[in-house]
Structure 1
Amino acid sequence: MNTTSRRIHDASGLPAGTVASREFVAVDDSGEFSYHRSQQDLVAAFEYVGEAACIIDRSGSAFRLVLDANRHLTLGPALGPVEFHWLRHAWLDAQNAHPEGHRLRRFYPVTRDEVVSGLFETLALEGGTAPVEGAWSLDIEGFASFPSNIQEIDRRLARGDRLERARVKDPFGHVYRPARHRKHRYLPAAAGSILYIEIPASGSLGSVPHALP
């Protein structure tokens, strides 16, 4: 069941603390991840209690949906810290299963805090709502520009021959090299989506990200 388009709500793409409402990330019963800017948006995105397999807030606390006295969906009480190993593997599985939907590929997370913060940041950025002007940067052979979101970067990199010369920095300071992902090797290079593979901020290739196209 692919419900990504129904579930991804307006996302600010801004660092923690700049969004007034409480934010959540949910994992549905098919393993899909989604970002929600408020509890109201979260509850509205689901139709029955078990549809959300896991819900977390920015602190890493886990929640489930429950029914209130009027049998309406609502957010239940905190259940304690989310299980780190399950969350990390579920996120990596979702990225591998839907590379065109999860295109910001950061280094392999080694702590629960890294997994949680990375989820909120990347899902918000992939949601496509423009952050503050200039929060993204795109450098192609020393020429810098400041796109408003990842979709604008895609348009500027539409020609595949420019990818290896480009570097992208997101609003949180992570640096990426764009790479074309093709669903089938016989398709032309331009037919695939662009993944953004994290590299060290210096721009060197000394470290290997957790997922490559």
Structure 2
Amino acid sequence: MNTRSRRIRDASGLPATAGPNRDFVAVDDGGDFSYHRSEKELMGAFEYVDEAACIIDRSGIAYRLVLDPDRHMVLGPALGPVEFHWLRHAWLHAQSAHPDEHRLRRFYPRTGDEVVSDLFETLALEHGRGPAEGAWSLDIDGVGSSVPGIEEIDRRLARLKPLGHVKVKDPFGHIYRPARLRSHWYLPAAAGAILYIEVPALRIRQN
């Protein structure tokens, strides 16, 4: 996939606005996405400037890595809004190419704001960095319970074969139905990773 074409609208000369308390999403040179809680964490994830094809903050502003006068790698100045059609296509491609890494499947994002918010929310949750402890809900046969994270949900669902009677709610209020991914045709469905497919929001009862 070409991760370079039309990903950033030209806005050269904008000052860098990134700070130590801001988080970022990066697209690497292979087209995969990653979440970083701070600029320091972002810088530690890459070894050379072109390894990060595109970096965005929560406002949808794009950045690149650059070398400073001492040839140290730093976050460059803001380059303007990311090209949202490219970003959406790249995200859908990454989900298809790496289904076992990107398992939260939200509804198709219709706007640029939805693309950016979905990226930050789902990637943070996939990395175990959600907004609150115990904010996941798991509903099995109409009985709901609080769960500390998606890893615990995976563990509980691994013991269940049919998943049609299960619903999961993430800390942002999105509801999913789990479905097992069959990674190879010759393996049983139960051997695959669990995807979480968003469905229209329904209330999950808590004990």
The DSSP-based 3-state class of the residue aligned with 1:196 is: strand
Q: List alignment gaps of at least 5 residues for structure 1.
A: 1-19, 204-213
Q: State the partner residue of 1:15.
A: none
For residues 65 and 183 of structure 1, the distance between their equivalents in structure 2, rounded to whole angstroms, comes to 35
1:142 CA drift (Å): 1.4
Structure 1 residue 153 corresponds to structure 2 residue 153 = yes
Give the structure-1-normalised TM-score.
0.83
* 1:6-155 alignment, distance < 5 Å: 21-129=21-129, 131-155=131-155
Distance 1:46 1:35, change over 3 A: same
For residue 161 of structure 1, give the secondary structure of its aligned residue in structure 2.
coil
Distance in 2 (CA, whole Å) between partners of 1:86 and 1:109 is: 13
Measured in 2, the distance between the counterparts of 1:54 and 1:23 equals: 14
Contact (CA 8 Å) 2:133, 2:149: kept in 1 or not? Answer: no
Contact 2:134 2:149 in 1 (8 A): no
Which secondary structure state, in structure 1, belongs to the residue aligned with residue 161 of structure 2? helix
Name 2:187's counterpart in structure 1.
187
What's the offset of the Cα at 1:134? 2.6
Listed as ranges, the gaps of 5+ residues in structure 2 are 1-19
Q: What is the identity, as a one-letter code, of the residue corresponding to 2:102?
A: H
Aligned equivalents of 2:151, 2:76: Cα separation in 1: 35
Cα distance in 2 for partners of 1:84, 1:131 equals: 25
The alpha carbon displacement at 1:131 in A equals: 4.9
Q: Between Structure 1 and Structure 2, how many residues are aligned?
A: 184
| Cα distance per residue 1:19-48 (max 9 Å; x no partner) | x82000000000010000000111111111
Distance 2:77 2:130 in 1: 32
Q: CA deviation at 1:160?
A: 4.1
- Contact persistence 2:134–2:147 (CA under 8 A): yes
* 1: CA distance, partners of 2:70 / 2:116: 33
SS in 1 for 2:147: coil
Query: What secondary structure, in the 3-state scheme, does the structure 1 residue paired with 2:163 have?
Result: helix
Question: What is the TM-score with the length of structure 2 in the denominator?
Answer: 0.85
CA RMSD across the alignment:
1.4
Runs of 4+ deviating beyond 3 Å: none
Residue 167 (structure 1) aligned with residue 167 (structure 2) = yes
Tell me the amino acid that sits aligned with residue 134 of structure 1: G
Paired with 2:129 and 2:63, the residues of 1 have a C-alpha distance of 26
For 1:31 and 1:129, the matched residues in 2 are separated by 22
